[in-house]
Amino acid sequence: MAEMSQTLTTATPSPRLENLRRGVYRFRRNPLSMVGLVMLVLVIIIAFIAPAIVPYPEDAEGNVRALDRLKPPDGEFYFGTDNVGRDIFSRTLMGTGLALQVGVVIIVLATSIGVTLGGVAGYFGGWIDDLLMRITDIFLTVPALILAIAVTAALGKGITNVMIGIALVWWPGFARLTRSLVLSLREEPFVEAARGIGAGHLRVLFRHILPNIASPIIVKMSTDFGFAVLTAAALGFIGLGAQPPTPEWGAMINDGRDYFPDRWWMATFPGMAIFLMVFSWNLLGDGLRDLLDPRARR
């Protein structure tokens, strides 16, 4: 059986594979998205090797070097030192992993909730759809940032609660998108065929419909990733996120606020780090949209 399907695929490449190949070609022709991809790969590599390459890994914890307070960038401290003498270069690089992790958790949580609710609403229709979409509307009416701040404050400060708070306000976008995509496929012949041979509702929804609407959802995941990181940094900046001495970028900028602009390096480098991370996700997302979402290809 496995052999047979193999020969079949080599004989006539599946249209999905062919599309993918064409997409990869288009993606590679777009210099901006390639830059984004390369930057992102670098960011991920840095996140993994940071503890091994930074000069002062112990500065990511509560290390204090009173003699090295507020030193400007030089050959020893590339990004300068902060108000308790910690190396900002080490802390910024060590913060990369945390930022990535936060983005992944928020996006995965938000996508899971949103796709499930949106998929169920679109597939079953009727009162289930009405109920779920009214709930979604309510969430969409509250300003996301304020609700995220309120939820996180109520749960208590900390990076885990930041992720929960943001994910809780992030899913409605995914629910809306998934619902509209499911609606457009619900009456297609292949769905009817699957139903006809006795597939259950959940199987039809998750095995037959979902793979066919994955592209726009992936595009949204990648464009939202950067903004999720931004939002988490904003909450960290307000003081709700990772507590000291964790090297969280938003909190680091907040630490540097009192010393800005005279000791500009404290806030500038974590800010640049956030920017680079978000910018590369946005470049990538822009390229992916051109590639996977044909309606947006203009």
Partner 1 sequence: MILRVYLLRRLVLVIPLLLGLSLLTFTVSRILPGDPVGLAAGPQATQEIREALARQFGLDQPLPVQYLNYIGGLFQGDWGQSLYSRRLVLDDLRVFFPATLELTIAAVLIATVVGVPAGFLSAVYRDKLPDQVVRIIALFFVSFPAFWLAMIFQSILGVTLDWFPISKRFDVLLAPPPAVTGMITVDALLKLDFNAFGIALSHLATPALVLSFGSLASVTRITRAAVLEALDRDSVRMERALGIPYRVILTKYVLRGTLIAILTIVALEFGWLMAGAVLVETIFDFPGLGLYAVESSLRLDFEPIMGITILYGIVFSLINIATDVAYGIIDPRIRYG
* Residues at the interface with partner 1 (CB under 8 A): 32, 134-135, 137-139, 141-147, 149-156, 226, 230, 233-234, 237-240, 250, 253, 257, 260-261, 267, 271, 274-275, 278-279, 282-283, 286, 296, 298
Q: Please, which residue, 78 or 264, has the CB nearer to partner 1? A: 264
- Is residue 249 within 8 A of residue 267, CB to CB? The reply is no
Least distance between partner 1 and beta carbon 153 (Å): 4
Least distance between partner 1 and beta carbon 151 (Å): 6
Least distance between partner 1 and beta carbon 146 (Å): 5
Q: Please, which residue, 63 or 282, has the CB nearer to partner 1? A: 282
Q: Please, which residue, 41 or 64, has the CB nearer to partner 1? A: 41
Least distance between partner 1 and beta carbon 285 (Å): 9
Q: Which residues pair with 87 in a beta bridge?
A: 81
Q: Please, which residue, 209 or 278, has the CB nearer to partner 1? A: 278
In the structure encoding, which two tokens stand for residue 246, read together? 């964790």
- Is residue 99 within 8 A of residue 229, CB to CB? The reply is yes
Least distance between partner 1 and beta carbon 273 (Å): 10
Q: Please, which residue, 20 or 153, has the CB nearer to partner 1? A: 153
